[in-house]
Structures are given as C-alpha cells and as structure tokens.
Chains A and B, each alone.
Chain A
Amino acid sequence: MNSILLAVIIVVIIGLIVGVVLAVASVLMAVPVDEKAAEIQEQLPGANCGACGFSGCSGYAAALSKGEAELGLCSVGGQAVIDAIAPIIGAEAVASVPKTAVVHCNGNDDNTSKVTRYQGIQSCMAATQLYGGMGECSYGCIGFGDCMAACEYGAIEVCNGVAIVKPDVCRACGKCVKACPKKLITIEPKKERAIVKCSNCDKGALTRKACKVGCIGCMKCVKTCEHDAVKVVNFHAVVDPEKCVGCGKCAEQCPQKIIFMA
C-alpha cells in the first residue's frame, strides 16, 4: 500500500479514537455550567477594578449567582447594573448610594509652597521616596497626578498643584485611592455632607506655618456638630460621611475655612 496513505490513515485512526474517548468522557462527566453567573457577568461593566472586593467581574458574578455576595457592590455600574442583575438572581433591586472619591487636601500653589526642587521622575510615588515630597507640608498632595494616571474615567485632574475629583464623572472604583502615596483620597457616599480638605498630622502651629488652609485641630467643628459626625484624629478634623447630615454648621465655624460642603 502507498506508505503516505497508510501514514495518514494511522494518524486519522489514532485521532478518531482519541476524539471518541474524549466525546464519551465529556458526555459522561459533564459539569453543569453556571448559566446564571455567565448571565450576570454580561451585565457587569467588565472594568475588573476590584471595587466590589472580588477578584474581578467574573468573581463577583460567581459570588452573586451563589448568593454569597450582595447586590450593589459594583460602584462602577451603579443603579443600572443593580436593576439589570436583580431579576436574574431573583432579588429585589436595592437603591444604590452613588459614591465618589474625595481628595482631602487643598494645598494648591496659592496656599502652600515648595521647599525643595525636584527633578526626578514625574510621579508622586517617586517624589515621595525623596524626603516625603517637595512641599512645605509633608502630608499634602504632591501634584504629579498618580491618581490622574490611575483613573480610567478621566475623573481626576491636577489643578494648580492639587488633585481635584469631578464627582459627576467619578465611578468610585478606588484606583486613585490605591495610587495616592499620601493616602489623601477616600471613597465617600455622594450626598449632602461636609468635606475636610486637609490631612495634616502635625500640631496646629506647625500646620499653620506649612499651609494657609491646614487644619489646626482647634476642635470648633467638633463642638459645633450636633450629630457627632466630626472628630479630630491625628491633629486634623475627620468627618464621618455616614453620620453627617450636611447642615454646614462646622463649615461656618471653621477659622481656616477648610471644611467644604458638597
């Protein structure tokens, strides 16, 4: 017989046997695919940002379909995603509280000054390695925009040397929070509330020297607040956005004018 033909036949027969065995095995040992999870994953935005606390959209979808996760953890998708997923897992759609990132520093070039000249890599992370940055205030925004680079939605801009979040564009994925070497950014619910734009941990006198708009820890806001929402931690005021009702009294009292209403 033609040896080429025989070679082809041998390979084909071996291939066929392997194929048949595999086909039989896949039928005998079929594993039901979790269709619910696949359906949920289609509805998720696919940003894989990890804001929900799972490894990615597929992880959140799997946890949702098993009932191990709550609705509304996806801050990127927001209400639209909740409404789309709720019927799939047979749950009531919950109202999501939209969130946004907030930069707790207002030390722009008008309010504070630089003490060193930095000529290295234009990155906050790199600049922080060198004596904690160039600014007079060692807790403030560096202004090279690591957060801006991390943001996938263009929601952060560095304006006059300090990062500013646009709440309308922000999807609260939390990437800027991780990118900021000074840990100035937090994720807060988007509602009427007070925002302290300072994170300085030095005592009042030192803070006042470093920045015109630094929190001096005078406790006026703490005394004014009727809802126990403001505390002074590490010599600067911190507002608990959950407790804050947005009355604005602390902002009126603040001698440094560093509490803003949003």
Chain B
Amino acid sequence: MSITQLVGIFLASILTENYILCKFFGICPFLGVSKKLDTALGMSAAVTFVMVLATAVTWPIYTYILVPNEFEYLQTLVFILVIAGLVQLVEIVLRKYMPPLYNALGIYLPLITTNCAVLGITMLVLDKGAEDPAFGYVASLVNALGAGIGFLVAMVMFAGVRERLESCDIPKSLRGLPITLVSASLVACSFLGFSGIVDKLLQ
C-alpha cells in the first residue's frame, strides 16, 4: 500500500468517516467530556491511544488466531475482553503518571471500555480488510489513528462551541443538554460538507 493511499485513509477517517460526527459512535464521551478544552484533549488522547492499541492487538488475534480456527463469531467477545484489559491498563498508567488527567477524566475513562467507537474501529477495519485484501495491518493502524484524531478534532471543536455557549444567553428551557444536542447536530451537519473532498484531493 502506497503512502498516498495511507494518507488518504488517514484523512478520510478524520473527515468523511469521522467516528463521532459521521458514524455517530462514542457520543457518550462526546457530550460528557467536551465541557472543557483540556479534559476534551485528555479524553481524546486516551481514546486515540486505546483505539490504536486495541487495533494493534485485536487485528493479529483475529487474523492469526480466530480466522484459521474459524472462530470469527468470537470476535465481539474477544475484542471486548482485550479492550477492557487495555483500558484498565491505561487507567493504571494514568493514575500513576498523570493524576490530574485521571481525576479529570473520572468516570469516562472506564467508560472507554464500553465505548462503541473503540469496538467499532477494531471491527470495521476488519470488514474493510475483508473487502479489500490490500487493506492490511498497517492500513488498519493508520485508520485507527485517523479515527482517534478524528475523535480529537470533533471533541476539540465541540469543546470550543460549548465554551462559547457558556457565555450565551440561552432560553432557560434549552439550557444544559438540549442546547448541547442541538449544537452537536449542527456541528455534525457541517461535517457533511467534507464528503467526497478527500477522494478528490488525492486524485
């Protein structure tokens, strides 16, 4: 797979296949942790890290253990097991080396365990690999990294939107979650504009 193709995969996973704003995965941390820019950055970094790590571990497990033995149906079970373990590991490391980030993430860090964005990326890259044999290990990792960065882009953008919302005079009935959901849908709409852009860019 050429570098151009990898860059294409990377950009596509950030813009056109954005996991939050186009595929609507991982909405829970998107709404929960996007209140402040620094926690949004920390959460996205944790998710990106877990996504790449999870893909790096689940791809070989699937390709070299599950497929040869015809155990594809164990995919979900094994992946959740591995992701849960990885998240626990990230949590232990964070608590040791970055206590402020650990405290800031709070409940959302364990929630990455059940974050469908992480499980989604590990399973969707395998689907892509099944369709296109050229989509191998490296492409999967690039895709996972792109998905994580896409998560970060969405979180940071939305944290900015929410910080501005704080100072707005919002009707009382819309304050809190309602206005957050409305603005989330507007941001998602704006991401529709990216569809097709990446293919054209690399032609």
Among residues 1 to 57 in chain A, which have CB atoms less than 8 Å away from a CB atom of chain B? Answer: 3, 6-7, 10-11, 14-15, 18-19, 21-22, 25-26, 29, 31
Whether the pair B89, A11 counts as a contact (CB closer than 8 A) is no
User: Which residues of A sit under 8 angstroms from B84, Cβ to Cβ?
Assistant: 18
Is the CB of B200 closer than 8 A to any CB of chain A? no
Whether the pair A10, B65 counts as a contact (CB closer than 8 A) is yes
Interface string of B92-111 (1 = CB under 8 A from A): 11011101000000000000
Whether the pair B69, A31 counts as a contact (CB closer than 8 A) is no
Is the CB of B189 closer than 8 A to any CB of chain A? no
User: Which residues of B sit under 8 angstroms from A25, Cβ to Cβ?
Assistant: 89, 92-93
User: Which residues of B sit under 8 angstroms from A29, Cβ to Cβ?
Assistant: 92-93, 95-97
A12 CB, min distance to chain B CBs, angstroms: 10
Interface size for chain A: under 10, 10 to 19, 20 to 34, or 35 or more residues? Answer: 10 to 19
Whether the pair A22, B78 counts as a contact (CB closer than 8 A) is no
- Cα of A21 to Cα of B95 in the assembled complex, Å: 16
B79 CB, min distance to chain A CBs, angstroms: 10
Is the CB of B70 closer than 8 A to any CB of chain A? yes
- Cα of A6 to Cα of B96 in the assembled complex, Å: 38
Contact of B69 among A10, A15, A19, A21 (CB under 8 A): A10
Interface string of B77-88 (1 = CB under 8 A from A): 110011011001
Whether the pair B81, A31 counts as a contact (CB closer than 8 A) is no
Is the CB of B187 closer than 8 A to any CB of chain A? no
Is the CB of B153 closer than 8 A to any CB of chain A? no
Is the CB of B74 closer than 8 A to any CB of chain A? yes
Whether the pair A21, B89 counts as a contact (CB closer than 8 A) is yes
A41 CB, min distance to chain B CBs, angstroms: 16
A25 CB, min distance to chain B CBs, angstroms: 5
Whether the pair A18, B82 counts as a contact (CB closer than 8 A) is yes
User: Which residues of B sit under 8 angstroms from A18, Cβ to Cβ?
Assistant: 81-82, 84-85
User: Which residues of B sit under 8 angstroms from A11, Cβ to Cβ?
Assistant: 74, 77-78, 81
- Cα of A256 to Cα of B93 in the assembled complex, Å: 68
A6 CB, min distance to chain B CBs, angstroms: 6
- Cα of A10 to Cα of B61 in the assembled complex, Å: 10
Whether the pair B81, A26 counts as a contact (CB closer than 8 A) is no
Whether the pair A10, B93 counts as a contact (CB closer than 8 A) is no
User: Which residues of A sit under 8 angstroms from B66, Cβ to Cβ?
Assistant: 10
Q: Considering only CB atoms, which chain A residue lies closest to B73 in the complex? A: A7
Contact of B96 among A7, A15, A22, A31 (CB under 8 A): A31
Whether the pair A22, B88 counts as a contact (CB closer than 8 A) is yes
A27 CB, min distance to chain B CBs, angstroms: 10
B10 CB, min distance to chain A CBs, angstroms: 29
User: Which residues of A sit under 8 angstroms from B71, Cβ to Cβ?
Assistant: 3, 6-7, 10
B172 CB, min distance to chain A CBs, angstroms: 11
Among residues 189 to 223 in chain A, which have CB atoms less than 8 Å away from a CB atom of chain B? Answer: none
A55 CB, min distance to chain B CBs, angstroms: 11
User: Which residues of B sit under 8 angstroms from A22, Cβ to Cβ?
Assistant: 85, 88-89, 92
Q: Considering only CB atoms, which chain B residue lies closest to A27 in the complex? A: B92
Q: Considering only CB atoms, which chain A residue lies closest to B84 in the complex? A: A18
User: Which residues of A sit under 8 angstroms from B95, Cβ to Cβ?
Assistant: 29, 31
B84 CB, min distance to chain A CBs, angstroms: 8
Whether the pair A21, B85 counts as a contact (CB closer than 8 A) is yes
User: Which residues of A sit under 8 angstroms from B99, Cβ to Cβ?
Assistant: 31
User: Which residues of A sit under 8 angstroms from B96, Cβ to Cβ?
Assistant: 29, 31
- Cα of A18 to Cα of B81 in the assembled complex, Å: 8
User: Which residues of A sit under 8 angstroms from B74, Cβ to Cβ?
Assistant: 7, 10-11
B35 CB, min distance to chain A CBs, angstroms: 16
B64 CB, min distance to chain A CBs, angstroms: 11
Among residues 54 to 76 in chain B, which have CB atoms less than 8 Å away from a CB atom of chain A? Answer: 61, 65-66, 69-71, 74
A195 CB, min distance to chain B CBs, angstroms: 35
User: Which residues of A sit under 8 angstroms from B78, Cβ to Cβ?
Assistant: 10-11, 14
Query: Can you list 25 A-B contacts (CB < 8 A)?
Result: A3-B69, A3-B70, A3-B71, A7-B69, A7-B71, A10-B65, A10-B71, A10-B74, A10-B78, A11-B81, A14-B61, A14-B78, A15-B81, A18-B81, A18-B82, A21-B85, A21-B89, A22-B88, A22-B89, A25-B93, A29-B92, A29-B95, A29-B96, A31-B95, A31-B99
Closest 3 CB pairs of A and B: A18-B85, A29-B96, A25-B92
